[in-house]
Amino acid sequence: MKRDDNTKTEVDLSEATKGKLTFVLASRVFIDAPGSFQLGYTVGVLNVPEQELKKFYRESYFSMFGVELGSDQLTILWSCTVSIYCLGGLVGSLLVGPLTRSFLGRKWTMVSINLLSVSGALLMWGSQMQTSFQMIIVGRTIMGVHNGCAVWVVSMYVAEVTPPNLRGALGTAPPVFFTTGILVSQILGLPQILGSEGRWPYLLGFYVIPAVLQSFCMMFLPESPRCLLIDKGDPEASRRALMKLQGAHINQDVCMQEMKTEHENELKEPKMSLLALVKSRSLRPQLSICVVLWLGQQFCGIIAILFYSTSIFVQAGVPKEYSDYATIGVGGINVLAAVVSLMVVDKAGRKALLMWSTAIVIFSFAVLTIALGLTENLFCECGCQQGRWPTGVLDSAGVCILPNATGDPNTTMSTAAPFVDPYQWIAYLSIVFVIVYILAFAIGLGPIPYIITGEMFRQGARPVAFMIGVNIDSSEDVKSTVNGVNEDPERLGVTMQLGRSDL
């Protein structure tokens, strides 16, 4: 009889793994996900209006100090502006554990940190009125603190409120919103919209809209049932939240018992701090897997692709005035691939998607490295690097003349008729494999680490595990972003080789 009871309990507990997608659950996940949207917006917002912002930096510096801003100083200031949000993200990641375990919980942590988003946006919006580039740098730092905390609170919440059979699909919602944020920043940053001299402050202040909308909507949605039961010790509130999120049809007693069982197992182990998690032998395999996944995601070279995709398109023959639109097209492909991942992650499985994604990314980087290396070195025999011509010599003025290619010894690069480059297909190959890389990354290597980290750890260790993940994410973004602000596109091949070898 005892054996029968045990069998029955096991069957009952398995019911907790089966759930349906209710309207409230979908609303809660997709209202929470704009935290990731703001991170994506932060990553992409400075790319398109870069020249307008640099012009403002020169004007602001001259207004404050009465001297012109040198090119080296401008590069340093711009590097700080681009990468400072990553350092803010490191600070924000340290707030994840303390805030989510406090009286705020998951829900009110998100509402509270949106105050940081609004304050950072207002600082950047007012920078032009005050003629202060420092306000942009401080605002980016504050946005980094918000992003570093928000993206992991979102992932943690999604992992806790969704039934296991829906966790994979809904767990890819934050990456979908992240890529959407990048795409929206690229579109709004076009000169015809908000990327012009008079309108870029509104581009940097756009964060106010998603922050306010998210905070308002979240006030009417329930807290995480696991947080209410385990962290706050309120079973009745947990039961009500569970019914709102997953519907009245679920077996509440089974779901509550599943959460209590998890909590009882946690109590058998010491409280999980950062040091305790690192020392825990029982959790070391899970921690090692998650760390390797995060390192693989960050070292795969996605930052290099995002920074240099426009340069690749220009090199392949896309007119410069259209290269920004080509970059937006890549952003659109990134979003579509993330949506595809949302639909197939539970059917294909985490491991299969991750393995195929990583293999395709490595192959794409290998082809890109070779293609870019060839296109950078297929110049005139004279070494002038003015174009890809089979022959050419320099005259006394240092101008390339093309007697064999044109038949006229006085013809130069600037006056010669268009030359049909026999190696142009190599440049086009670069475009193809940039797209292949984006597809492969967005389907597997991009979203899977978010899902795995939430699934591999119990309630007590989950905040600390996410804190470790965001520290890896932010610290590697600092390195990649600082490398990315170097404006010499010829270094892209080297960057890609580093990314490929790290993988």
pLDDT tens string 170-186:
767 777 888 888 889 88
pLDDT of residue 481: 47
Return the beta strands (E) in 335-459 as ranges.
393-394, 400-401
pLDDT of residue 122: 94
Q: How far apart are CA 251 and CA 90, in angstroms?
A: 40
pLDDT of residue 200: 92
Q: How far apart are CA 359 and CA 150, in angstroms?
A: 31
With CA atoms as reference, report the closest residue to 331 among 416, 168, 442. 442
Q: How far apart are CA 500 and CA 490, in angstroms?
A: 17
Whether the pTM exceeds 0.85: the reply is no
Low-confidence ranges of the chain (pLDDT < 70): 1-19, 164, 167-169, 171, 248-249, 263, 266-272, 303-304, 306-308, 311, 315-317, 375-424, 427, 454, 458-460, 462-463, 466-467, 469-503
Continuous segment of H or E residues that includes residue 433: helix 424-440
pLDDT of residue 142: 94
C-alpha distances (whole Å) from 453 to each of 237, 333, 388, 503 are 26, 26, 49, 19
Residues in the chain: 503
CB 481 within 8 A of CB 303: yes
With CA atoms as reference, report the closest residue to 206 among 189, 229, 192, 223. 189
